[in-house]
Structure 1
Amino acid sequence: MLGMGHDVVDIAAFAEQLDQPGSQGRRLFSARELRQSALRAKVKHDGEAAHLAVRWAGKEAVLKAWCEALGGRPNPYTLDDFPWGLIEILDDSRSRPHVVLAPACDAQLQESLGMGDSLRWHVSLSHDGPIASAVVLLVG
């Protein structure tokens, strides 16, 4: 294990931010993430915000795992330029979550850690009541 990240999100506060006029919150998600969240909300008969909030927690946990894996190496990004939209938290055909990095982001990860394509992500997502939570492991 190279790094671990964990994050929790208050779903109601997250939903409020998404619904504010002029909010740019949805641009932090890919079209696939937005589509999957809308579909899950429809199937589960709950709000889309819960499914986006848990994906946001996943993205934050990816950042934390990546930073831990860096150790003393320099961070390739700051919070202001971290490529949130290039990191997807998607469900596979069995509804299991996984991390998908855009090719440029994946190359940056490999370069920043000095490793090849042997890196793998493991992610667990959960939401219950008012809280969304994600745990991410980066292994190599």
Structure 2
Amino acid sequence: MESNESGAHSVCLFHRRPMICSVKARQGRAGGCGKYIFKERDEIMSLMGLGHDVVDISGFSQQLNEPGARLRALFSTRELRQAALRARMKHDDESLHLAARWAGKEAVLKAWCEAIAQLPRHTNAGEGSARAGEYPYTLDDFPWREVEILDDSRGCPRVILSVKASTALTDSLGVNEPGPGQNRMPVFHVSLSHDGSVASAVVILQMEDRPEIDGI
């Protein structure tokens, strides 16, 4: 099995409410849903969402290369460039690496969906605008190109959101609203893998403390 690659080809339905677990933190207040993970110096990170997706690489490749197919347009220029470069380096097919990134995008959507489901439920706002607990997008207008799965300088995959998508994320989770969570920010962590004909991705969405800046 090769790490840092993966692809997925199933759809998370925003209107489908996932099952949520909750545990209490040993220190501090742990109201609401979510799992809590302890770091050094008693810092707390809350696990808001978990997403997993798999894709059949052969089927994905056929869809990707069909005449007039729209699938390639759902990737950013940077994603396409990285996938092509990785294929040349490994002497394999570009579609394998794009399948991995597609898995990551789908897993991001699922983790985000689960995180929203933990909050009070409201009517879907749509078009990238939402209050806390509202879904900012539908399946028809989710900005796939603005949710990038890119390798960093060490070759590790990262989730990169556009400014608009990042704002939709924080608004939908109530991060910018006054309250005890105001100093926290949502962070995606992604792991990609492929083995044989299957690519897979796992994404965790956590709320983490905003980094402190000296002098501010």
**Could you give the per-residue CA deviations for residues 74-93 of structure 1, whole angstroms, max 9, x where no partner exists?**
21111111110110000001
Instruction: Provide the residue aligned with 1:134 in structure 2.
Output: 201
Equivalent in the alignment of 1:48: 94
Three-state SS of the structure 2 residue aligned to 1:2 is strand
Q: 1:123 aligns with which of 190, 196, 205?
A: 190
1:12-51 → structure 2 map (5 Å cutoff): 12-51=58-97
Deviates more, 1:125-134 or 1:67-76: 67-76
How big is the shift at 1:16?
A: 0.1
Percentage of identical aligned residues: 61
The residue that corresponds to 1:87 in the other structure is 147
Q: Which residues of structure 1 form unaligned runs of 5+?
A: none
Q: Tell me the CA shift for residue 10 of structure 1.
A: 0.5
**Cα offsets for 1:76-126 (capped at 9, x unmatched):** 111111110110000001000000000000000000000146111100000
- Deviation, 1:134, is 0.2
- CA drift of 1:52 comes to 0.2
Q: Which residue of 1 aligns with 2:163?
A: 103
TM-score computed with the length of structure 2 as normaliser: 0.63
For structure 1, which segment, 73-82 or 96-105, has the greater mean C-alpha deviation from structure 2 after superposition?
Answer: 73-82
Cα distance in 1, alignment partners of residues 195 and 83 from structure 2? 16
Counterpart of 1:64 in structure 2 is 110
- Letter aligned with residue 76 of structure 1: P
| Mapped partners of 1:120, 1:74: distance in 2 | 19
2:64 maps to amino acid: L
Inter-partner Cα distance in structure 1 for 2:134 and 2:98: 30
The alignment covers a number of residue pairs equal to 140
SS of 2:140's equivalent? coil
Gaps of 5+ in 2: 1-46, 122-132, 177-183, 208-216
Query: Which of 109, 113, 136 is equivalent to 1:76?
Result: 136
1:4 to 20, 34, 50: 50
In structure 1, give the amino acid aligned to 2:68. G
